[in-house]
Amino acid sequence: MNRTRRLRKSEGIRRLVRENNLTVDDLIYPLFIEEGENIEKEIVSMPGIFRFSLDRISKELDEVVSLNIPAVLLFGIPSEKDEEGTETWNDNGIMQQAVRFIKKNYPSLYVITDVCFCEYTSHGHCGIIHENDVDNDATLINLAKQTISHAKAGVDMVAPSGMMDGTIATMREALDNSGFPNIPIMGYSVKYASAFYGPFRDAADSAPTFGDRRTYQMDPSNRLEGHREASFDDEEGADILMVKPALSYLDIIRDLKEDFDRPIACYNVSGEYAMVKAAAEKGWIDGERVMMESLLSMKRAGADIIITYFAKEVAKILRNK
């Protein structure tokens, strides 16, 4: 008889035949950095995740480094917003200060910046508004300025999340022409207009004041369009392709893994984190096991890199194993 149970008999044999493993090397930890002083504010819908001002962030960074997490993804929350999000390309803006601070004090930590406008615009959309919608090409001009400003601050990698067409080509050209040909770009290539971003918008203060993001982020119904989006980013020279959110889009992660020879990242977003935390708090699920199982499913689907608010928790569990 074919007895598949033979290879499940003990932990020893299960370890030997295990096809996928989660390791600390897979993880990117997002950080919310707010302009100002003395800020260390827990995000209500994301227990354990805080907004920090730079003067309070060292203990968080010490922990990230001591857990051997390779990279952080920065989100800036400026004290001033305006129509265009001009603070995004202020060389002394919160992102730029944060990059300089981290690279100076934690040189081994790989620093990635989220390149977008929604936290910086008064209307909360990811670019310049023209006739009630985001103007793609006008936004690209500002995107180039923001990218160069992050590069000058010393960022290791940039990650545009605004879903404007032509983003990767614009940023690649801007970086190459400004003396930064070696800074890679991780494209939020296949990013869906998702309800799973809810808690993030509280965390980053970036909810749109009117309408939604469906004219630029993808329709959750679509799969082939995801391939098309990723192809454009691939052709334009994105170094890493990302799928976002992760858990409801494992099929898309698998598609990209099979169709492209670039590293594939996925973003285990705020709502996915909040669901696990909330159910665990109620005692309805074993939060730790559900967390590990979900992240493992992303690896199994084909993700090489996982951006997750669970990074510190996971790193602790893996270290103690």
Q: Are 236 and 272 in contact (CB under 8 A)?
A: no
**Is 299 a residue of the active site?**
no
Q: Which stretch binds ligand PBG (CB under 6 A): 79-87, 200-208, 219-227, 256-264?
A: 200-208
Q: Which is nearer to ligand PBG, 184 or 259 (CB)?
A: 184
**Is 244 a residue of the active site?**
yes
Select the residue interacting with ligand PBG from 22, 95, 269, 291 (CB under 6 A).
269
Q: Which is nearer to ligand PBG, 26 or 114 (CB)?
A: 114
Examine residue 216 and tell whether it contacts ligand PBG (CB under 6 A).
Answer: no
Site string for ligand PBG, 66-105 (x = CB under 6 A): ----------------------------------------
Examine residue 266 and tell whether it contacts ligand PBG (CB under 6 A).
Answer: no
* Nearest distance in Å: CB 206, ligand PBG: 6
Nearest to 192 by CA among 169, 213, 171: 213
- Of the candidates 191, 277, 299, 312, the residue annotated as catalytic is 191
How far apart are the C-alpha atoms of 225 and 276, rounded to whole Å?
A: 29
Site string for ligand PBG, 138-177 (x = CB under 6 A): -----------------------xx---------------
Site string for ligand PBG, 4-43 (x = CB under 6 A): ----------------------------------------
209, two tokens? 């004041």
Examine residue 197 and tell whether it contacts ligand PBG (CB under 6 A).
Answer: yes
Q: Which stretch binds ligand PBG (CB under 6 A): 60-68, 102-110, 113-121, 137-145?
A: 113-121
12, two tokens? 């020893």
Amino acid letter for position 44: V
Catalytic residues: 191, 244
Q: Using CB under 6 A as the criterion, which residues of the chain lie in contact with ligand PBG when the complex forms? A: 114, 116, 118, 126, 161-162, 197, 200-201, 206, 213, 269-270
